[in-house]
Amino acid sequence: MTRATELARHAVLGVTTAAAMLVEDPALLVVQASRRAPRSLARRAAVLLRRGAREPRRDARLGLAAWLTGHRDVARTHVAAALAAPGGRAGRRVLAEVAVELDVPDPGARGATAARRAWREGRVDDAVRLAQGTALGRRLASERDLMTPGLRLPTPTVPPTRPAPDGAPRALHVLVNSLPHTASGYALRSHAVLRAQAAAGVDVLAATRIGYPVSVGLVGARDVDVVDDVEYRRLLPWATARTPGARLEQHAHALAQVAARWGPTVLHTTTNYTNALVTQAVAAALGVPWVYEVRGLLEDTWAASFPTPALRDAARASRRHAMLRAREAELASAADHVVVLGATVRDDLVARGVDAARITVVPNSVDTALLGRHVSSVEARRALGLPTSGFWVGTVTSLVDYEGIVTLVDAVARLRDRGVDARAAVVGDGVARPAVERRVQELGLTEHVVLPGRVPPGAATSWYEALDAFAVPRRDTAVTRTVVPLKPMQAMALGRPVVASDLPALAEVVAAPGAGLLAAPDDATAWADALERLAGDDALAARLGAAGREFAAGRTWAAAGARYRALYEELAA
């Protein structure tokens, strides 16, 4: 296939995807497009909105400007005020959609917006009823069906299957997204797993979800990407089906064609349940086992996305939460084997009825090369052009609310008030970045807190090394109590002591091996106390750093690759 044909297909796919959203709801398309707009464009639009912010539309314009630039708390205040005031129908429709995104109450919501609000709040049946007879209603009904335990996708028809060669296992990985287009923790772990398996002698191939990465606006992407000798196949048709259920069937059919030609001995997928449904169907068609890697608890991640404790509690009590929880447990039980990242998730699945004998823990791990690096924080800061003096604490993470970065900023301010020359580097990007920037400015820390944004994976190591202590200030939510993040392990491999929120998943990898200190989540004073201990005790910092490096040495990707290979060989036998 020529590059011109490839680009033409991607362009048609992008246009048809946008057209489907336009048919479903033009206001939603405007909101989604605005959310994905380049940051520079969003900022220019916000400036124009603020310039024209006069009564009676002042709150609406200020709310939209704040939303475009990521200042969600400010946006909530103005959007709530604007919705309470009279306004034009067209403008209110867009505002109402933004209110759904911001979880702002809107008693006047009607039609598609009311249905989407009900869905967002977990009122699944209400959402389907409110949208009945529309394209949105068909989509929501299909998604409800997929969430309902008991439903299976049809087994796709496959062409004559290429027999797997004797010898090494062949693992086809079914992923949501991947490098080089997405550099999230999910994509980085996937890539590390694939490389580790390849190094252990497993033949690997990865395929991402139907429509990706064109579905996230990358029309110029290729059908195949190769990163560090790992091949990522893209399943990119001329158009995707209109409902979630039909798209998953389309996904299963496309994946089955790839699998039949390649001849895997095992299929390996990751959360969530949609991936599991597709992989289950294709595994049945090929007659091979499948592995479900549960990297997080979907329903708790969704509940953690709400901005207040009351809304999070309501989400956990909703029908959507219950359906997702049951669905994930059902598919974990249906898989031939389950992989988890830590003991907390394993124990949760066992409590739901998943057989403990079919669960293997393969934790977040580190490259062996990191263990041999011995660069001082002063040397690393000098190489990055940072001030070499002071006590530097920081993190490398996605900037989302539950990561608790504002708590870290507040702790740095308290330390400086105590006379400690504390400084911070927060590497990464995300929806919470504007709130972090605003807090830094409010506390007068712009000269002491560095926010370099997202950096390439290869450059991240230098930022880890520039720190005297690595911070994981996660907030106390259901998801942060159970899911073990990847980043602390890399810091430990580099000999950096860790300060983390006192949560079970973090205690498992920080307190248990003696690699750092724990502090109460959302408590800036407790965080300042823990950091002050490290800043004033070089011997303690060295002891914790050495314990962390020793712990990380037992969790290398080389060991993980060998564990995966043994698992695949056991399943084949």
Q: pLDDT tens-digit profile of 526-551? A: 999 999 999 999 999 999 999 999 99
pLDDT of residue 207: 98
Per-chain mean pLDDT for the chain: 93
Single-letter amino acid, residue 529: D
**pLDDT score, position 456:** 86
Residue 270 has pLDDT above 70, yes or no: yes
Best CA proximity match to 530, nearest among 544, 513, 517, 548: 517
**262-277 average pLDDT score:** 97
Instruction: Classify residue 13: in a domain, yes or no.
Output: no
d(CA 60, CA 551): 53
Final residue belonging to a domain, choices 361, 396, 424: 361
Residues 439 and 540 reside in one and the same domain: yes
Is 401 in the same domain as 440? Answer: yes
Structural domain tally of the chain?
3
Asked, for residue 427, whether it belongs to a domain, the answer is: yes
Does 384 lie in the same domain as 347?
no
Task: Tell me what the mean pLDDT of segment 130-134 comes to.
Answer: 95
- Residue-wise pLDDT tens digits, 26-58: 766 777 677 677 788 888 988 888 987 788 788
Where among 91, 109, 127 does a domain terminate? 109
| 117's tokens | 């609000």
Question: Are 333 and 387 within one domain?
Answer: no
Q: What is the pLDDT of residue 233?
A: 98
User: What's the average model confidence in pLDDT over 78-95?
Assistant: 78
Q: Which band of pLDDT confidence, cut at 50, 70 and 90, is reported for residue 327? A: very high
- Whole-angstrom distance, CA of residue 304 vs CA of residue 291: 27
Examine the pLDDT at 265 and tell me if it is beyond 90.
yes
Q: Are 160 and 557 in contact (CB under 8 A)?
A: no
On whether both 346 and 378 belong to a single domain, the answer is: no
**Residue 453 burial (C-beta neighbours within 10 Å; 0-12, 13-18, 19+):** exposed
In a domain, 114, yes or no: no
What distance in Å separates the CA atoms of residue 403 and residue 186, rounded to the nearest whole number?
Answer: 15
Strand order in the sheet with 230-233: 224-227, 230-233, 203-208, 170-175, 266-270, 290-294, 337-340, 359-361
In a domain, 453, yes or no: yes
Residue 538 resides in a domain: yes
Q: Give the tens place of pLDDT for each residue, 204-222.
A: 999 999 999 998 889 999 9
Residues 350, 388: one domain?
A: no
| Cα–Cα distance for residue pair 488/182, rounded to 1 Å | 20
Whether the ω angle into residue 107 lies within 30 degrees of 0, i.e. cis, is no
Of the ranges 51-55, 60-64, 221-225, the best mean pLDDT one: 221-225
Q: Evaluate whether residue 563 is within a structural domain.
A: no
What is the mean pLDDT of the segment spanning 514-533? 97
Whether residue 330 is found in the same domain as residue 396? no
Same domain, 512 and 413: yes
Q: What is the pLDDT of residues 364-421, one digit of tens each?
A: 999 999 999 999 999 999 999 999 999 999 999 989 999 999 999 999 999 999 999 9
Q: Are residues 100 and 223 in the same domain?
A: no
- CA–CA dist 197, 171 (Å, integer): 9
Is residue 431 domain-shared with residue 353, that is, in the same domain? Answer: no
Residue 436 and residue 453 in contact, taking contact as beta carbons nearer than 8 Å: no
- Does some domain include residue 51? yes
Q: How far apart are CA 276 and CA 291, in angstroms?
A: 9
Residue that is last in its domain, among 361, 394, 412? 361
R_g over Cα of the chain? 24
Show the domain range for 235: 170-361
pLDDT at 157 over 60: yes
- Mean pLDDT for 469-480 is 95
CATH number of the structural domain spanning residue 332:
3.40.50.2000
Residues 303 and 400 in one domain: no
- Mean pLDDT value across residues 468-491: 93
Mean pLDDT of 234-250: 96
**Number of neighbours of residue 96 by Cβ within 10 angstroms:** 25
- Cα separation, 364 vs 376, in Å, equals 24
Query: Is 1 domain-assigned?
Result: no
For residues 464 and 533, state if they share a domain: yes
pLDDT on residue 164:
66
Q: How far apart are the first and last CA of the chain?
A: 39
Q: Which residues pair with 422 in a beta bridge?
A: 391
